Amino acid sequence: MAPIPRLAAKPLSIITGALFTAFSAPSSTPPTNGANATLPDTQYIGSASFLNLTLLHTPPLSSSSSSNSSSSSSSSSSPISSLVYYHSNNNTYTGCNQMPFSSTDNVVLMNPLQFGNASSSNSTCGNWIQVQNRQNTDLSTYAQIVGICDDCEYGSMDLSLGALNDLAPDLDFEDMTFSNSSDITISDLTDSDSTYSSSTTTISSDNLLDITWSLSDAPEPRNNPAPTSTTTSTTTSPTTTATPTPTPSSTPPPAEQFSGRGTWYSDTHGQCEHNYSQSDLIVAVNQDQMGTGKDMCGKKILMTMKGSNVQVIATVVDMCPKAYCKFGDLDLSQAAFKKFAGLGVGELTLQWSWL
């Protein structure tokens, strides 16, 4: 792996906090230290896209890859996106909090910044949120955070079909056909002068509804049951203990931060020994922090550019040799680099942390 020649350019802070004006209220500005941005008693503004779980199934694990598995559940489950697993044996899913749910439940994939660090106390994994339709404030629903929406902007999320139906019952989401390649929007369908029809048109699954939302207690069980309680018996009387739901601290500790140069490259195969695409959000870590083995392969990092509120989650797939990257430096895929600036910029000054 070797980076391609870069254009000589100073790091540019071309993406400013104005990018988030449409997504966040003045009280919900993203932090720049990598800490979780989702706080209790705070309302956030964003958009809701469609989380179509039935389209996220990956092929079942092969017999060769599952032959060494020690549990039947792991051999019948496949990882899909964002910390969620699909279990083919009973047609259910397991989220980041290891609790089962089905495709009819109200669940949400949260944007990376407001999901937080999945392995720390500042994660919103398993938390409930209350979501409100910004155009019709009488319509609201509850949803449980089960994973990360890697391509969602700050304030925004992917919502399951049930949650979307609660927020916009006049829209026939169940009869719509969605495609990530379509640029036809819900607004096109609802425009009185539009010639589109939801029954015959494939529409984009992105930004279906404008929403406001905040962290919430679990809803009443009759609509969307909270995680199951467990009962343990003693010699005197039974004791019921509810599964705790983590609540983010109002002052969460920041993750350890690194700083260095960010460049971009064009390889599609690296030290982790699998092929990938330059359209993926991936990164090669400097040799000092990556090493020459595979221990860091598949890990996630959270990156932000100096002078910008944009933050990106990327997966480690490769190592950048010392000849090109010193401690703290990162070599990004073109897709990851373009989240911050155009390729012609050449170099960025990045802050980042392990997730």
pLDDT tens digits for range 184-202: 877 776 666 666 666 667 8
pLDDT at 352: 92
Instruction: Please check whether the two domains, 21-168+208-225 and 258-354, share a CATH topology.
Output: yes
- Would you give the end-to-end CA distance of the chain in angstroms? 24
pLDDT digits (tens, 9 = 90+) for 11-45: 222 222 333 333 333 334 555 554 556 888 888 88
pLDDT digits (tens, 9 = 90+) for 281-300: 899 999 999 998 999 998 98
Inform me whether the pLDDT recorded for 301 exceeds 70: yes
Place 214 in a pLDDT band, splitting at 50, 70 and 90. very high
pTM surpassing 0.75? no
Longest Cα–Cα distance in the chain: 75
Inform me whether the pLDDT recorded for 74 exceeds 80: no
- Is 3.30.1330.20 the CATH number for 21-168+208-225? no
Q: What's the whole-number mean pLDDT along residues 152-171?
A: 90
Ranking 55-69, 102-116, 157-171, 272-286 by mean pLDDT, the lowest is 55-69
Ramachandran area for residue 77 (φ above 0: left; ψ -120 to 50: alpha; else beta): beta
Distance of CA 166 to the CA centre of its chain: 22
Domain boundaries, the chain: 21-168+208-225, 258-354
What's the CATH fold of domain 258-354?
Answer: Barwin-like endoglucanases (2.40.40)
Q: Which of 16-30, 153-167, 304-318 ranks highest by mean pLDDT?
A: 153-167
> Comparing 59 with 221, which gets the higher pLDDT?
221
Q: Which of 174-188, 243-257, 282-296 ranks highest by mean pLDDT?
A: 282-296
Ranking 33-37, 84-88, 222-226, 330-334 by mean pLDDT, the lowest is 222-226
Strands (E), the chain: 44-50, 77-79, 85-87, 92-94, 100-101, 107-110, 128-133, 140-148, 157-159, 177-178, 202-203, 209-216, 230-232, 239-241, 258-264, 282-286, 300-305, 311-320, 330-332, 348-354
| 258, 256, 245, 143: CA torsion to nearest 10 | -10
Round the average pLDDT of the chain to a whole number and report it: 74
Neighbours of 293 (CB within 10 A): 10
Tokens standing for residue 55 = 């389209």
